[in-house]
Structure 1
Amino acid sequence: MTLSLRIKNKLGFVDGTIPKPHTNDQTSADWSCCNSMVMSWITSSVSDDIRRSIMYLETAQEMWSWLKVTYHGNDGFRVYQIRSQLRGLKQQGSMEIGTYFTKFITLWNELRFYRPSRVCKGCEKYEQEDCLMEFLVGVDQWHRHTINTILAMEPLPDVYYALNRLKLEESLRPKSLGHYRNR
């Protein structure tokens, strides 16, 4: 929902950065129209029971706040689940590197949603390195040589470079060898 609101430049109606103007303000009618539109989007995206409980609120911000207080549980449990899934995620059996990567990056991006990037000098570099390391930990050890080559690079590449190197290695593997288990 926040993505849609951000795209339409209406996120401010729910987060309070576009406050309701005074009734005698000439922008009041425009604000009211936009607020009603956002309220309509919110009510159309929730169940009937929830809709009935928020339909009499006066602003999109009130609706959003109510929904957040009522349904936005503790993120700690979800972060714990994601981290557990990441630690248990391995490239297994005949799983191709692209399939493993898709599962990995989905979890990684969800974790970033709950734990947004820190704004500090060098933080982005460390977050990229963390992503790369976490990804490589789950890669099948048949790729050991490529993993070592990637880890020896200065500076460390991003996870997408590693993915492409591993996909290349996988594509060059002789088909007669089948998948690389037990090597």
Structure 2
Amino acid sequence: MGDKLDSTVEFPKIDPSSPYYLGSQDGPGAKISHIMLRRDNYHDWQHSMTMSLKARRKFGFIDGSIKKPTSKFDLDNWEAVHCTLVQWLRNTIDPSILDNVSYVTDASVLWAELKEQFDVVDGTKIHGLKTQLNNCKQTKGMDVTTYYGKLKTLWDSIIMHEPPFACKCGKCECDIGSAALKRLDNERLHQFFMGLDYSLYGSVRSQQFQLDPLPSLSRAYSVVVQQERLKTESNPDVSEVAAFTVPNSSID
């Protein structure tokens, strides 16, 4: 009798650190971003998806840095990841615009199509964000952290549409990138203090603006938060005091 042929083929296991690895939670039905792509929020969606894909070591399939392999095993894995990525992208697209996307099996092609269709610089959108920024104030009862969070959200949205200037030739010796970032930080510092409650933090603002050079935004924010903490400790809110007061009740 001849030897019995073993039809079982042993494929090498994929290391979890490999970009080809897909775990049990990485199925095609997974939604890896809580932001749904609509017609007017491409930059928010793109930023969220980029962070999620990089965290999963998959963005190389999008930007082309992970090239199409030649070996059969790697090629099968490469195609499996691309099909999964296509489904992940489609899972975060609003149904009203899903028909705009052609059925493709290459995630980088789909990513490029979405960018071409929805990455539109909208002057009205930028104007609206800057108007909100100009009107952003610390209202009565609002703590500094909440106020700063509102500013930060607007700053991040604007920077997606208007990124700071940076050298792209690689030959610049004047370090324009650092200078641009410092100017942006100074601008945000002024915006932060302009909307801050002057009756509470006017003296802090005067002190910070007397410094040369001006402090960074993060340093000034830290100083204001510390001042807020001191004010709270020296003048506790009535409701906080009441929480520690035992009501005088009689026993029937």
TM-score grouping bracket, smaller chain normalisation: 0.7 to 0.9
Percent same amino acid among aligned pairs? 26
1:81 pairs with 128, 143, 152, which one?
128
Distance in 2 separating the partners of 1:95 and 1:121? 33
Query: What stretches of structure 1 of length at least 5 have no aligned partner?
Result: 179-183
- Choose between structure 1 and 2: higher helix proportion: 1
Cα 1:20–1:80 change in 2 (3 A) is: farther
Pick 1 or 2: higher relative contact order, CA cutoff 8 A, min separation 6.
Answer: 1
Count of residues paired in the alignment: 175
Q: Report the equivalent of 2:7.
A: none
Instruction: Report the alpha carbon displacement of residue 45 of structure 1 after superposing the two structures with TM.
Output: 1.8
Distance in 2 separating the partners of 1:118 and 1:53? 33
Q: Report the equivalent of 1:181.
A: none
Query: What stretches of structure 2 of length at least 5 have no aligned partner?
Result: 1-48, 167-176, 239-252
Q: Report the equivalent of 2:187.
A: 130
Cα 1:161–1:144 change in 2 (3 A) is: same
Equivalent residues of 2:138, 2:144 under 8 A apart: yes
TM-score by length of 1: 0.80
- Encode CA deviations 1:16-55: one digit per residue, 9 max, x unaligned: 444545xxx2253332222122112112222445445536
Confirm whether residue 172 of structure 1 aligns to residue 230 of structure 2.
yes
Cα 1:20–1:75 change in 2 (3 A) is: farther
Q: Please give the residue correspondences for 1:9-158 in structure 2 after superposition, counting only pairs within 5 Å.
A: 9-20=57-68, 25-26=70-71, 27-48=74-95, 50-51=97-98, 53-54=100-101, 56-119=103-166, 120-142=177-199, 143-158=201-216
The root-mean-square deviation of aligned C-alpha atoms, in Å, is 2.6
Distance in 1 separating the partners of 2:187 and 2:220? 13
Larger Rg: 2
